[in-house]
A and B are shown apart, each in its own frame.
Chain A
Amino acid sequence: MTSALKASALPLSLLRRGKVREVYEVDAHTLLLVASDRVSAFDVVLREPVAHKGAVLTQLSAFWFERLAAVISSHFLSADVDEIVARLPALESFRPMLTGRAMLVQRTTPVPFECVVRGYITGSAWAEYRRSGTLAGEPLAAGLVESARLEPPIFSPATKADVGHDENVTFRHVVDALGHARAEPLKQASLGLYEAGRAYAAPRGIIIADTKFEFGTTPDGRLIVIDEILTPDSSRFWPADHYAPGRGQPSFDKQPLRDYLAGLKQEGKWDGNAPPPPLPAEVVQATSERYLEAYRRLTGKPLATV
């Protein structure tokens, strides 16, 4: 069994270290993504890694990339550690650490927008709607309640901010920045991926309330989907059997964490800022199990843990 990983350090050139993921350069055309087990809640990265989380994110993305290839191609090349090590023999000694969590991908020029799709009104979208009756700057039907299903789903892009929160922008803004010929396929692919994902997940007990996609352009000019897709980290997963519009919904994956931290805040034991409080082992364990359960429900089989 792979032990939980806070951060990887591979003998490859490190291009970027994100909240959860490290990006290494393999060659001019290829990258290696390594998802750690870091987890954040209330915008704070917690100290304790959540076992298997990185593998769930990686394997779930691989699952979707293949299943949804009819909608749009992706940067996915392989998430099989044998293939990766065969390609990069220098990583042989890191095999246990990489198993499940590493993904070899095609290198692209990223599109500078987060392509958010909302199928339920919640979070910042709910706040905007309550304030101005709009979503992504566009007027929305009156009388929606919190967590209401949006039919059709709404494309609600955001700029990629290096620091702090991404800023929501209108589709018009994206068109102005990229031109209609590049903006329209982004929107169409985002909506197509989300709708297929939402339809697939619902009968398996998971509501994918909203999600964020990233896209890149290949050297030959094709638009493909990159990063991770339809994972608990890039989306809001809600347990379908607890869904009740008119209020906020519990999170499928992070609810044990949130419940614990909210309790601390309420008791005045944590002010909500970094550094985060230590987490009891059972809270970490419960969270890990939620991630594994999401994977099992969506793919129909348990995560292969070595």
Chain B
Amino acid sequence: MQALWGERRRIGLWRRLWLALMEAERELGLVVPERALTELRTHLDDADLERAAEHEKRLRHDVMAHIHHLGEQAPAARPFIHLGATSAYVTDNADLLLMREGLELLLGRVAAVLVALSKLARRYRGLPCLAYTHFQPAQLTTVGKRVTLWMQEFLLDAEELLHRLETLQFRGVKGTTGTQASFLELFDGEDEKVRELDARVARKMGFARVFPVTGQTYPRKLDAQVLAALAGVAQSAAKFATDLRLLQHEGEMLEPFEADQVGSSAMAYKRNPMRAERMTSLARFTIELEGNAWHTAAEQWLERTLDDSANRRLVLPEAFLAADAILVLATNVAAGLEVREPVIARRVAEQLPFLATERLLVRGVKAGGDRQRLHEVIRTHSLAVAQAVAEHGAPNDLLDRLARDPAFKALKVAIQADELEPTAYTGRAARQVDEFLEQVLPAVLRRIETAAPTAASAEVTV
């Protein structure tokens, strides 16, 4: 992703765009010597960035600096480079090419997160754990089921990224204010040729869709939509990371920790969830970047103002780089997550007696007890036990207390704590995991593979 947003890559794309334009212009009848094209083709990737910088210092215009530099390297092409075009032809179209590839890379990364999490979900599909609402112990769920909650968010992101990728449109060959006037002049008013030029260049650059109308630039709304999808990725990762930080505090789940890793320079005993913390940190940054793009789009005047430029040069690469880093972290954490089953089992055991009281109440009533009285007995003991557990770390002896209470003793109704099977209290959790992994996940992974085959195969085999 860093290479993608580097200067060398961008200039390579500019040169390819100039080549595509020149090829298409020649194909449609303009007099461009074959030699101009062959020279240009041999200089796609050897721009001397320092030389271009010298030009720019003098000209104060980056696109013109590179046109001059390319003209030096390919003198036969020099008279025809950028013919009829405006800077936005290379800058905007190159940004779209970069975003397209960036989206593909991110889709591959999301697929990797999903695959790593799916392994976790499958492995722990049935492991009962405490579910929390208000971050207070609630009923039981399973570890695998919780993992599918994280996966589902990334799945929504994948669908959003796919949608952006599939509907991405090329800015094309539109001229200074989008009217194609300069090209109409080049082709002596041949309307059809100008339309064909636009479509042909788009095809050469691999785009099926071209914005039908533009000002000087493509609508900046598109940047905002793409950055919103990236912010979605950041949000999913932040939610995942925050859950991990909470669970690491409880000791139920820990992010990977290397053998020689140092938790704290001062407190040597510490094991901090620093990767999860870094994820939330980068996520906040990515989510906030999105606002720039909406403001930029909102504040463009008429056919174009240049106040978009410097801002976009920062937010587009930074958003992609940050989202990329977040997803690498998420995969790394998901693949190495440590699930502490004994801690989880202990937390479950602490709460299970509370969950069993509902059954006890039913049995008490069946045995002839008064529901309201038994309910009060359960309530009183439950509060006392909860306090003892919280204050003194006492074991949960609620069922013993209830068995000894005269109200239940008289009815000969009791439940032994070790008779309780947590799995009976996890509802459909394990089956929801099965269904999610079998019926929901594969279709999305297949869509990613189709839309971004290189990125997907590179990532998922990691």
A151 to B363, CA, bound (A): 34
Contact B416 A200 (CB under 8 A): no
> Which residues in A have their C-beta under 8 angstroms from that of B7?
none
Given A151-B125, A188-B428: A195 in contact with B416 (beta carbons within 8 A): no
A69 CB within 8 Å of chain B:
yes
Q: Which of B344-370 contact A (CB under 8 A)?
A: 355, 358-359, 362-363
Given A151-B125, A196-B421, A299-B419: A69 in contact with B359 (beta carbons within 8 A): yes
> Which residues in A have their C-beta under 8 angstroms from that of B421?
67-68, 196-197, 199-200
B425 CB within 8 Å of chain A:
yes
Interface residues on B, range: 20 to 34
B418 CB within 8 Å of chain A:
yes
A266 to B348, CA, bound (A): 51
Contact B419 A199 (CB under 8 A): no
Contact B424 A152 (CB under 8 A): no
Given A152-B430, A191-B431, A195-B430: A70 in contact with B424 (beta carbons within 8 A): yes
B172 CB within 8 Å of chain A:
no
Among A70, A151, A195, A300: residue with most chain B CB under 10 A: A70
> Which residues in B have their C-beta under 8 angstroms from that of A277?
none
Select from chain A the residue with minimum beta-carbon distance to B363. Answer: A66
CB distance from A57 to the nearest CB of B (A): 19
Given A69-B359, A152-B434, A300-B416: A199 in contact with B428 (beta carbons within 8 A): no
> Which residues in A have their C-beta under 8 angstroms from that of B138?
none
Query: What DSSP secondary structure best describes chain A's contact surface?
Result: helix
A14 CB within 8 Å of chain B:
no
Contact A196 B424 (CB under 8 A): yes
> Which residues in B have their C-beta under 8 angstroms from that of A299?
419
Q: Which of B237-268 contact A (CB under 8 A)?
A: none
A67 to B359, CA, bound (A): 9
Instruction: Find B424's partner among A68, A191, A300 (CB 8 Å cutoff).
Output: A68
> Which residues in A have their C-beta under 8 angstroms from that of B175?
none
A71 to B425, CA, bound (A): 7
A192 CB within 8 Å of chain B:
yes
Contact A196 B423 (CB under 8 A): yes
Given contacts A70-B359, A152-B430, A299-B419, 10 further A-B contacts (CB under 8 A): A68-B421, A69-B359, A151-B122, A151-B125, A152-B434, A188-B431, A191-B431, A192-B424, A195-B126, A199-B422
Chain B positions near chain A (C-beta within 8 angstroms): 122, 125-126, 355, 358-359, 362-363, 416, 418-425, 427-428, 430-431, 433-434
**Top 6 A-B residue pairs of the complex, sorted by shortest distance between their CB atoms:** A200-B421, A196-B424, A196-B423, A199-B423, A70-B424, A152-B434
